A and B are shown apart, each in its own frame.
Chain A
Amino acid sequence: DTGVSQNPRHKITKRGQNVTFRCDPISEHNRLYWYRQTLGQGPEFLTYFQNEAQLEKSRLLSDRFSAERPKGSFSTLEIQRTEQGDSAMYLCASSLGGQDEQYFGPGTRLTVT
């Protein structure tokens, strides 16, 4: 399978803990995106990378959130000091270029207790 993969698929954590998610994009795709989705809503943009450069961050991405794509391949999204309001599905997508279709991974569902 050469689609976008995300790990873990599910994460349960206690409030105040740090969590890290990984995304592996489609191999030749230069762009990688992170979105967050809560129940009953569409995905909301968080940030995106062109190769290893982080080009845009949403205001939704508080200072507790950080994303990296160190070698322009996989990416990690870390949430520090998690809060219950961070509970959501975190989706990763990749595209060949800026004007191309974005293909999504299966998501990581985070539950903060």
Chain B
Amino acid sequence: GQQLNQSPQSMFIQEGEDVSMNCTSSSIFNTWLWYKQDPGEGPVLLIALYKAGELTSNGRLTAQFGITRKDSFLNISASIPSDVGIYFCAGQLIWAGKSTFGDGTTLTVKP
């Protein structure tokens, strides 16, 4: 089945720094989604992308749908302590109901 490779697996950064993480797939998706999950909670949707090449922002977060439709990127600018958590990418196909998730990038922000 489809697999998503998310990198890096973890990041330790200083408050105020910018962060970049990405997700790659062996096959194409029609929709890319980025979620953030805090310990003991469900994932919270951050950004949804629907078209190849699309660049979408949500506050300090910016995500891009790769031209090949096999990858996506998430950037966080000027990180703050509450950005700490696990970030997941997910891909969807039009004909399939489910989302396929990566294994997450764990972000730690040092004040």
Contacts and interface: CB of A to CB of B under 8 A. Distances in A.
Given A99-B31, A101-B48, A42 B42 contact: no
B97 A104 contact: no
Given A99-B31, A101-B48, A43 B101 contact: yes
Contacts of A109: 40
Contacts of A104: 35, 42-45
Interface residues of B, number: 26
A58 B96 CA distance: 12
A99 B42 contact: no
Nearest to B45: A101
Given A101-B45, A103-B45, A109-B40, A40 B103 contact: yes
Nearest to A105: B42
Interface string B18-46: 00000000000011010100001111110
Interface size class of A (residues with CB under 8 A): 20 to 34
Interface of A: 4, 6, 31, 33, 40-45, 48, 50, 55-56, 58, 91, 93, 98-99, 101-107, 109
A48 B100 CA distance: 13
Given A99-B31, A99-B92, A107 B97 contact: no
B104 interface: yes
Contacts of A40: 103-104
A45 B103 contact: no
Contacts of B73: none
B79 to A, nearest CB: 22
Interface in B68-111: 88, 90, 92, 94, 96-104
